[in-house]
């Protein structure tokens, strides 16, 4: 069996079902997103694998972020709309949109909170 880990969520591989179970029984573990994760987070994932499944084959992987036209980002003010589940119950502080904006040279990440109204404002207060 092959399972994939995410160093942007380092430590989650041992805290959540079914990821923790699949990590324990995997023959092969892919550490994904290594091109955008911190070395410290990658090391946490490596240590988790070693702790619960030291015989697994570990494959280092990447998920390069691409955009059709980087010139529409470079030097611009950018409003990023992320994938909701990643941020709402995935416990991540940022997603691929922010990574892309930074990678392709956005001058400013626009904070949308001052411009929201109604239920959207309530969402940001939670």
What are the tens digits of pLDDT across the range 33-54? 999 899 999 999 999 999 999 9
Question: In the numeric block, which tokens belong to residue 5?
Answer: 């880990």
- Residue 126 — very low, low, confident or very high, per pLDDT cuts 50/70/90? low
Task: Give pTM, 2 decimals.
Answer: 0.75
Please state, in angstroms and rounded to a whole number, the distance separating the CA atoms of residues 80 and 94.
Answer: 10
Angle subtended at Cα 22 by Cα 19 and Cα 26, rounded to the nearest 5 degrees: 140
- Give the alpha-carbon dihedral of 5, 6, 10, 15, to 10 degrees: -50
Tens-digit pLDDT profile for residues 46-78: 999 999 999 999 999 999 999 999 999 999 999
Domain ranges of the chain: 2-60, 70-125
Please state, in angstroms and rounded to a whole number, the distance separating the CA atoms of residues 37 and 8.
Answer: 6
Please answer whether residues 23 and 51 qualify as being in contact, where contact means their C-beta atoms are separated by less than 8 angstroms.
no
Please state, in angstroms and rounded to a whole number, the distance separating the CA atoms of residues 13 and 22.
Answer: 9
List Cα–Cα distances, 92 to 5, 32, 108, 118, in angstroms.
14, 15, 20, 24
Tens-digit pLDDT profile for residues 81-104: 887 666 666 677 778 899 899 999
């Amino acid at each position: 069996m092959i399972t994939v880990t995410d160093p942007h969520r380092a430590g989650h591989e041992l805290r959540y079902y079914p990821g923790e179970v699949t990590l324990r029984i995997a023959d092969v573990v892919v550490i994904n997103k290594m091109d955008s994760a911190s070395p410290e987070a990658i090391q946490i994932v490596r240590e988790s694998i070693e702790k619960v499944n030291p015989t697994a084959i570990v494959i280092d992987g990447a998920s390069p972020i691409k955009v059709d036209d980087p010139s529409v980002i470079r030097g611009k003010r950018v409003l990023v709309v992320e994938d909701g589940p990643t941020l709402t119950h995935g416990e991540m502080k940022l997603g691929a949109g922010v990574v892309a904006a930074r990678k392709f040279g956005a001058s400013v990440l626009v904070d949308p909170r001052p411009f929201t109204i109604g239920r959207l404002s309530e969402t940001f207060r939670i």
